[in-house]
Each structure stands twice: as structure tokens, then as C-alpha cells.
Amino acid sequence: MKRREKRGLSPVIATVLLVGLVVVSGLIVFTWFRGFMQDAVTKFDENIQLVCNDVKFDARPSSGGVAISNRGNIPIFGFKVKIESSGGFETKDTTDEDFVSGWPDGGLNKGGAVSVNLAGTSGTDIVLTPILIGSSQGGAQASFACDENRHGIKVSL
């Protein structure tokens, strides 16, 4: 009786499959890590997160809204407004014209002051967090909201 030899995959096919597996695995890891990265936004040739430390503003309640003054040297494009109430919170920003009236189109320049009206605000407190404009890596303008915990100001209505 003749014995038949069993053959496995040829070494060429095995090498092609192995290289394909490594390439596909590398692409998956690359796209996964890419999701963690943010586009770097800069202002005054520095990371915009560091520029947030130089933002100084005051906010106090006024009739029907909030009076805001920019005490620093950094122009403030807008504010993220967190409306806190007993049932939770809602977040809006000053670019929403249905919500805010009186906000300057170009933002609040250094030394500027404005009184804005907040439509339909039924909360007890609001937290104002500055939004800055910078340049993204592609050269386009990009807005950046500073960290609420570090740069937000709470105003009781």
C-alpha cells in the first residue's frame, strides 16, 4: 500500500496570509488610537488649553439675564451656559440667538462688558464657561470651550 503524504499550505500562501493579518491589525490599532487624539487648537502660538488660564471675566445677575465683563487680555468668543435646576441641568451657548440676546457678534474683546438676556431660563443657577477661537492644524478657525471645573463661574439667579 502506498502511503499518501498530506501537504499543508505552501510557504508562499502562509507568508501572504501572515503579512495581510499584520497589516489589517496595524490599521485597526491605528484607527483606534486616532479616535483618542484631538486636533491641536492654538491661539497666540500656544496651545489653547493653556490660554484658558489667562482668561479673566466677571459675571453677575442683572435684570432678566447676566452682566459679563472681560477683565483679561484674551478675547472671549462666547460662553457655554449650563443651566442648573432641581431636575438636573441643560447646556446651551451664547451663539444660540433663540436663547441669548445682546451678545456681540465678534465676541467680547478685552475690557469689554455686555448684559445679555437669557430666554426661558428657569434654573436657579447658571455656570458660564468661556469659549475661545483659535487655529486648528489645517489653519481653519476652531472654537474651544475651556474646562468648566477650572474656568467656569457660577452665577445664582
Residue 51 belongs to domain with CATH number = 2.60.40
Instruction: Classify residue 3: in a domain, yes or no.
Output: no
114 in a structural domain: yes
Same domain (yes/no): 29, 94:
no
In a domain, 1, yes or no: no
pLDDT in tens, 16-48: 999 999 999 999 999 888 776 666 677 777 788
Task: Give the span between the Cα atoms of 27 and 24, in whole angstroms.
Answer: 5
Main-chain phi, psi angles of 22, to 5 degrees: -65, -45
What's the rounded Cα separation, in Å, for the pair 116 and 63?
A: 9
Residue 23's domain comprises 10-38
The secondary structure of 76-106 as a DSSP string is B-EEEEEEEETTEEEEEETT-TTTEES--TT
In terms of Cα–Cα distance, which of 76, 53, 75, 79 is closest to 65?
79
Confidence check: pLDDT of 100 > 80: no
- Number of structural domains the chain divides into: 2
119 with 99, same domain: the answer is: yes
Q: pLDDT for 45-97, tens place per residue? A: 778 888 888 899 999 888 777 889 999 888 999 889 888 877 788 888 887 77
